Structure 1
Amino acid sequence: MSEVRLTVEPRTEFGKGAARRTRRAGKIPAVLYGHGSDPKHLSLPVVEFARAIRENGRNTVLTLDVAGSSSELALTKTITAHPVKNYIEHVDLLLVKRGEKVTVDVPVVLSGDPASGTLVTQDLNEVQLEADALNIPEQVEVSVDGAEAGTQIHASELSLPRGVTLQTGPEILVANVSEAPSESDMESDIDTEGAGVVEEASEDETAGEQA
């Protein structure tokens, strides 16, 4: 997992008006908390923070250079975005230390092509892992290359890096390989749906005649 350095500033003003002024200045209101310490109110550079998350993922370790203080290591806990305009309104950061174990959600990515005539369904998009804060995997890759119909991959079968442990339930289904529907099956489904529509229309006409 990548480590990104950001220069941040302490915030001394609070409330909605102060938050709007912070955003107008090209910064994001944020709070850093953890390890029983008092929360620190910070301003993050919006462009650099957004780039770090876009290029390295939500679990990238941020080295925060706080003006007038020593550097802090942090993980992004929560990003609150505006529901309509889609800009970042606020960020919650979790203080971490080197060598510390953290629990995070990591994306699951399928790779490879299954056997001909099959269909792959991904049931789990993220898996919860415990890992060293500075060695969080960017993703967990699951190969379905050559998988035959009837193949099921559960969380317990995931291949994880050394020192990383699974926190998601081991019995949870990650991916399922089934037979792909044939052309005739799909046509049959369409015919059945069409018949249902005709039948409903006929019942409505009968009710109208009786009335």
Structure 2
Amino acid sequence: MADTVDLPPADGLDRALRHATPAEVITAAVKAVGREQLAVVSSFGTESAALLKVVADVDAAIPVIFLDTGWLFEETLAYRDTLIAALGLRDVRSIKPLDATLLHEDPDRELWFSDPDACCRIRKVEPLQRALAPFGGWINGRKRFQGGARAAIPVVEEDGGRLKFNPFANISREAVEAIYVQANLPPHPLKASGYLSVGCMPCTSRTSPDEDMRAGRWRGRPKTECGIHTVKTS
């Protein structure tokens, strides 16, 4: 991270933006961090288009970091390209894990089964740390209604010397759906097949209507997060 960035306190920003709209939070993030020091991190998953639409309306040139883990569905990669064109996103950066790391730690591509935390570390956490190195703040799409560790997230938090903005923290599921309808946003191709939350292929399964929307992630394991939101990015 550039050491010229003079960031305001996260707790003060959180208090000021506690009841702000997503667009107001993103606008405040640009002002607080600086246009050249802010990035968006998106999985281009089943709810990603709503956040990306709001971001594009504020400034379509804000860099968007996309973690191409090597295990993504082809439908997700195609959806990324669809949304880039539909929203006019001008700086989407697809970040991949290092080949040397994969060769050393996951040569047989079986780490997702034997140690999913380690798999997420080398395919998501470490690549994101590299990608965020030049930035003083980042935006993501977590929401409190997703439950689990996300149920009490603030709007703004400190993250390893950076500011982390959660502009959709207090938005409702209905409000997210309304953004899709109002903007005529295309859905993720897998959503109609029962994939309500989409990550890497080996660790994503369909979700029944009576389950939490993230129940299909790492099904049958105690794991509920990949690590990018539980490990500091410094």
TM class, shorter-length = under 0.3
With normalisation by structure 1, the TM-score equals: 0.22
- The structure whose Rg is larger is 1
Q: Which has the higher helix share?
A: 2
Q: Which has the higher strand share?
A: 1
